[in-house]
Amino acid sequence: MQLRIIVILLGLLASGSALAQAYKWTDEDGVVHYSDRPQPGAETVDLGKYTAPQGNSLARKPLPRRASTAEDDDSRTVGYDSLAVTSPVAEQTLWNIGDVLNVSLALSPALQSGHQVRAYFDGTPLEVGGLSFQLQEVYRGEHNLQAEVVDETGRVMIRSQPTRFYVQQTSLLRPQANIP
């Protein structure tokens, strides 16, 4: 009995380490490839140091800083690291919201003075007042939501990944007994 447990544990350990192997190489065109199978000239990638991203965000490197002058000191711009739609969650089904959608965004670092948040609801651009806002006339069906931050000139500083969600409404003609 104990031998069987030891063999099973060793098998699990061996399979776990096999799953943690990944390989990275660059082809002759300069394209970087990743695989779980070794390739000639590939280097081993340690997957233990990588974690799955949280939320639905698009991370960007901060904008490079340039040498500042006296006139630039008042208008320094720092890039944003991430912008994500945190509510509604991707692929979420919302029930009986009364045609009003509460939206929350996460932005890092905080919104800078002079910058504005723009939301795209089903492709239509909307100027919104901040990182939490309500959208009116959100009817049943499939919808898409995306957000971006723009500077004073209208240049996009960062954009979130699109978030798809669904709105359902209980029918008055055929009420359902059990709604999740």
Quick: pLDDT tens for 82-122.
999 999 999 999 998 988 999 999 999 999 989 999 999 99
| pLDDT for the residue 159 | 93
Q: Which of 44, 40, 52 is nearest to 20 (CA)?
A: 44
> Looking at residues 157-162, what average pLDDT do you find?
93
> Looking at residues 30-52, what average pLDDT do you find?
72
**Rounded-to-integer distance, Cα 175 and Cα 110, Å:** 44
**Which amino acid type is present at position 130?**
G
The segment(s) of the chain belonging to CATH 2.60.40.10 are 57-62+79-168
The pLDDT-based confidence of 146 (bands split at 50, 70, 90) is very high
Domain 57-62+79-168 in CATH 2.60.40.10: yes
Report the SS3 class of residue 75: helix
Specify the residue for token string 């089903």: 122
| pLDDT for the residue 10 | 65
- End-to-end CA distance of the chain: give it in Å, rounded: 45
List the structure tokens of 172: 């008055």
| pLDDT for the residue 77 | 55
In the structure, how many helices (H) and strands (E) does the chain have? 1, 13
Q: Is the pLDDT of residue 158 over 90?
A: yes
Task: Report yes or no: 148 and 121 within 8 Å, Cβ to Cβ.
Answer: no
| pLDDT for the residue 72 | 45
> Looking at residues 32-50, what average pLDDT do you find?
74
**Which amino acid type is present at position 163?**
T
Task: Report yes or no: 140 and 168 within 8 Å, Cβ to Cβ.
Answer: yes
| pLDDT for the residue 70 | 42
Other Cβ atoms within 10 Å of 138 Cβ, number: 22
| pLDDT for the residue 22 | 78
**Range of weakest confidence among 3-12, 14-23, 124-133, 158-167:** 14-23
